[in-house]
Structure 1
Amino acid sequence: MTTRRGFVKLAAASGLISAATPLFALSKLNVGVGTYSYHSLSIDDMVIQLNALHIREIEMSRGEFMLMHHPQDQLFRDTREKLDRAGIRCVSYYAATLKDDQDVENAVRFAKLLGCSNITGDATGSILNRIDQRLTQEKLTFGIHNHFFPNTKFAYESPEDVLNALSTLSHTMGATADTGHFASCGYDPADAIRKLAPRLRMVHLKDVQTKGGEVNVLLGTGAAKIPEVMHELHRQKFLGLIAVEYEKEGDVDRDMVQEITFARNLA
């Protein structure tokens, strides 16, 4: 794993640190990070790398925070303290699957402990009405997350799947659009972003090697049409978080420098 000094040196060599401040300041699109990208690091090491990349907004999507792992409140309190000290704002909490009222209550509590305004998940059926009610009460929003699973039909694969689920729900409920998963499922990610525009809460900016596969590749090198996606987000004047996600095991330091550089150059 790269040390703090080594990572900063790497980022500088790639031109990210010298360019990051003006690019970020002038950007009309808000590029951040989905923290699953750093799931192999400790929270402390993740914060070091987020700071080196000048990331100021994130979605908390690390596995140990997801509902199915039954996290405790103290994990969220401790992490919030570290993020606050670093000047990093957690704007969304990825809860994963919400199945019942207790999941909804836990997701709301965890999101508030992190200081989030949005929750992302893949709830289906009648629980969506309960989520709508509770999050409206709490002045939070919810983003339905599309997903690709090999050899398995998932409830939310196409933009139409998401829009159909949202059709009877209030505008508390929206979409967290994952460009990589749309591409994996065989849908044009830029077209999906266009269709979801009225309900788009945030974007998981991800590229994949090919349709029908789930191997992540560097932004702009795969099937997810990332330049077209960013062009569409500019057209919408999208103000939400565009969270770069890179699902790869092992050391991702060098890759994340390239990912953020590429995204910011299009922002």
Structure 2
Amino acid sequence: MAIRFARLAGNAYTTRHTPMNLKALVLGLVASALILRAEVEIPAEHRVGGFALGCQAYTFHRFTAFEAIEKTAAAGGKVIEFYPGQALSPEERTVKLDHNAPEAVIQKVKDKLKKHGLLAVNYGVVGLPNNEAECRKVFDFAKKMGMRAVTSEAKADAMDLIEKLVKEYDIAMGIHNHPKRPNDPNYKHWDPNYILSLVKDRDRRIGACADTGHFARSGIKPVDALKILEGRLISLHLKDLHEFSARGHDVPFGTGQSDIAATLQELKRQNFQGNISIEYEYNLEHSLPEVAQCVGFVRGFAAQR
């Protein structure tokens, strides 16, 4: 008699019903499960109220990457997500931080992160074309930086390649969404159901980077989008908007129309373990107090529950 086990990470397992074979198989399944979970294990010291919370460096895109690190730490964030092309530092503005950065630049960034107690968790939004050499540059950079994931608005024709690299590097990939484009019906990433269609039959490390502000700008309640993507959430760009419309701009958490408390409650219900990036794209030169208010809201939410 043979016992059949569920498919895990794309492999089906069968074994004869013997204690030794069963024990070996169970150990193998456990090891595989641990590998699948590797990218979500963000240490407790890099969490705020149980959430791995920090900033998308684009929040401070009028400043350098070093200044983004400083401001994220000053706001109370514990993690950071970088984006391609930000100037490195006030002293080296012509040097750009991206996946083409040399080892010396990467080490400078890692040293700066260590100094301010931050963990680099994600990189994007970055292009992942159906070109292995180009995609490898992104995954190599993420691996060198010790990141858990990359974020992209990947297209369907690149998904096989991306899945191959996700497995090889053990780095997750979250598909990002921008708002609905009325004049471009070919743009479908605004729809959480479309994102789900791209990832649902893929390795579990392939999922969504849910931009809640852009969902709201597309007329979709963030909580509804998160429910659609349950089990496939890699990361979030968390935003509260002053109005629930395409014109909505960022405001401190809890003061807008996006129901951040309900969003956090839904993440808690799902036992979400990925990272949350505050991406604050308003009052760009002087947003630090407002970003700190966002961090404080998450801390207060957790304290009340």
Greater mean alpha carbon deviation, residues 133-142 or residues 233-242: 233-242
Indicate if the aligned counterparts of 2:231 and 2:270 stay in contact, CA closer than 8 A.
no
Contact 1:95 1:107 in 2 (8 A): no
Measure, in 1, the Cα distance between the counterparts of 2:47 and 2:251.
27
**Is 1:131 matched with 2:166?**
no
Could you tell me how far apart the structure 2 residues matched to 1:222 and 1:148 are?
18
1:234, CA displacement in angstroms? 1.4
Return the match for 2:145 from 99, 114, 133: 114
Q: What corresponds to 1:203 in structure 2?
A: 236
Structure 1 equivalent of residue 43 of structure 2: none
4+ residue runs of structure 1 moved beyond 4 angstroms? Answer: none
After superposition, residues 179-218 of structure 1 pair within 5 angstroms as: 179-208=212-241, 209-213=243-247, 215-218=249-252
Alignment-mate amino acid for residue 148 of structure 1: P
SS state of the match for residue 144, structure 1? strand
More helix by share: 1
Corresponding residue SS for 1:197: coil
Would you say 1:83 and 2:117 are equivalent positions? Answer: no
- Amino acid of the structure 2 residue aligned with 1:192: A
The 2-side partners of 1:42 and 1:28 are apart by 29
Given the superposition, is the C-alpha separation of residues 217 and 70 from structure 1 closer, same or farther in structure 2, using an over 3 Å criterion? same
SS at match of 1:212: coil
Q: Which has the larger radius of gyration?
A: 2
d(CA) in 1 for partners of 2:113, 2:251: 28
The Cα of 1:77 is off from its aligned counterpart by: 3.2
Q: CA deviation at 1:62?
A: 5.8
More relative contact order, 1 or 2 (CA 8 Å, 6+ apart): 1
Superposed displacement of residue 71, structure 1 = 4.2
The total of aligned residue pairs comes to: 243
Q: Does 1:146 align with 2:177?
A: yes
CA gap 1:161/1:52 in 2 versus in 1, 3 angstroms: same
CA distance in 1 between counterparts of 2:150 and 2:178 reads 16
Shift of 1:70: 7.0
The Cα of 1:259 is off from its aligned counterpart by: 1.7
* CA–CA separation in structure 2 for the residues paired with 1:116 and 1:39: 20
* Secondary structure of 1:123 counterpart: coil
Q: Work out which of the residue numbers 138, 146, 159 in structure 1 matches 2:192.
A: 159
Q: Give the TM-score, by structure 2 length.
A: 0.72
CA distance in 2, matches of 1:53, 1:218: 12
Distance 2:209 2:294 in 1: 19
* Residues 251/62 of structure 1: CA separation in 2 closer, same or farther (3 Å cut): farther
Identify the range of structure 1 (78-87 vs 140-149) with the bigger mean alpha-carbon deviation: 78-87
What's 1:262 paired with?
297
SS of the aligned residue for 1:198 comes to: coil
Residues 150 and 213, structure 1, Cα contact 8 Å, conserved in 2: no
Asked whether the 8 Å contact 1:38–1:62 carries over to 2, the reply is no
AA aligned to 2:272 is F
**Residue-by-residue CA offset, 1:63-110 (whole Å, 9 max, x unaligned):** 438x9x774234433212211232211011114221232331111011
Tell me which residue corresponds to 2:205.
Answer: 172
CA distance in 2, matches of 1:55, 1:111: 20
Q: 1:72 aligns with which of 78, 81, 101?
A: 101
SS of equivalent residue, structure 1 residue 98: coil
RMSD, aligned α-carbons? 2.5
Secondary structure of the corresponding residue to residue 137 of structure 2: helix
Relative to 1, partners in 2 of residues 1:70 and 1:53: Cα closer, same or farther, differing over 3 Å?
closer
Q: Deviations over 1:24-83 (max 9, x none)?
A: 978232322212111122233323222323322121136438x9x774234433212211
Shift in alpha-carbon separation, 1:138–1:167, aligned structure 2, 3 A: same
Matches within 5 A, 1:216-235: 216-235=250-269
Contact 1:39 1:62 in 2 (8 A): no
SS in 2 for 1:40: coil
Give the whole-Å Cα distance in 2 for the aligned partners of 1:62 and 1:105.
15
Inter-partner Cα distance in structure 1 for 2:133 and 2:180: 26
* Secondary structure, counterpart of 2:258 in structure 1: coil
Cα contact 2:65–2:86 (8 A) shared by 1: no
Alignment correspondent of 2:30: none
CA distance in 1: counterparts of 2:57 and 2:202, whole angstroms? 28
Unaligned ranges ≥5, structure 1: 1-23
